[in-house]
Amino acid sequence: MTRKKRRALLCMLAVPLLALAPRSEESLPASAAEPAAVPEKYVALTFDDGPWPETTEQLLDGLAERGAKATFFLIGEQIAGHEDTVRRMADEGHQVGSHTFTHMDLSRGDPAERLREIAATDETLRALLGDGVYWLRPPWGFLAPQTAAAVEVPMVYWSLDTEDWRRLDADAVAQDIIDHARDGDIILLHDPYATSVEAALRAIDALTPQGYRFVTLEELFRQKGVEPEPGKLYIRPDELKRIA
């Protein structure tokens, strides 16, 4: 075989081998070279009955480390002596709301006293944090229609009740959130309990890689395109609770 024919034969054999060779990442389609983006889902962690020594501060530390935001519904009489903690909540971008002054059942008793309970915490928050719209969560979710009609801010119930105050079990509460949280949920927790703090932070760590973003209630409603109305009791941005 002549040298020219041998060279031609080698070229013919090389063509199929080149076709089988792996392509560089740069030559791959974008859909193959990059993992698919995880759709973002928004949920609101809400904490009742604070502020509380140690556990609320531990929760704030954990939220800051993770870049997560939450909403705190405070009992007015608990604020005295913990003003720095409440200021920290606001300074770090969390939402602060009212849980009445003494954790009063807003479905019973003197109607005027119920409104005083709401007003007292609102005044305390205004004195500490300045003018604002401090949303209300009725203790236990109980609310009389005539009281609701007089409330001038949005009110919040919940769509996922972890029963953390009863369980006092970080593993069970965290798993409940991980298993049942859905886009748009309002999750009920209580920051006086160390188990609840631990559970919330574990849930954030587990759900963040799945595309969940932990935001304030105001941000959750904004993301869902809902303008919250005063005197309405929200289970989720897209669902109201009947007040009867």
Structure tokens at 207: 């759900």
Q: Give me the catalytic one of 94, 99, 176, 190.
A: 190
Buried b (16+ CB within 10 A) or exposed e, 89-112: bbeeebbbbbbbbeebebbeeeee
Determine if the peptide bond prior to 154 is cis (ω within 30°).
Answer: no
Give catalytic status of residue 48 as yes or no. Answer: yes
Q: Give me the catalytic one of 48, 49, 164, 176.
A: 48
Spatial distance between the Cα atoms of 73 and 122, rounded to a whole number of angstroms: 11
Spatial distance between the Cα atoms of 232 and 152, rounded to a whole number of angstroms: 9
As to burial, measured by CB atoms within 10 angstroms (0-12 exposed, 13-18 middle, 19+ buried), residue 33 is exposed
Closest CA to 215 of 237, 173, 186, 192: 186
Spatial distance between the Cα atoms of 192 and 56, rounded to a whole number of angstroms: 7
How long a stretch of residues is the chain? Answer: 244
Give catalytic status of residue 105 as yes or no. Answer: no
List active site positions.
Answer: 48, 190
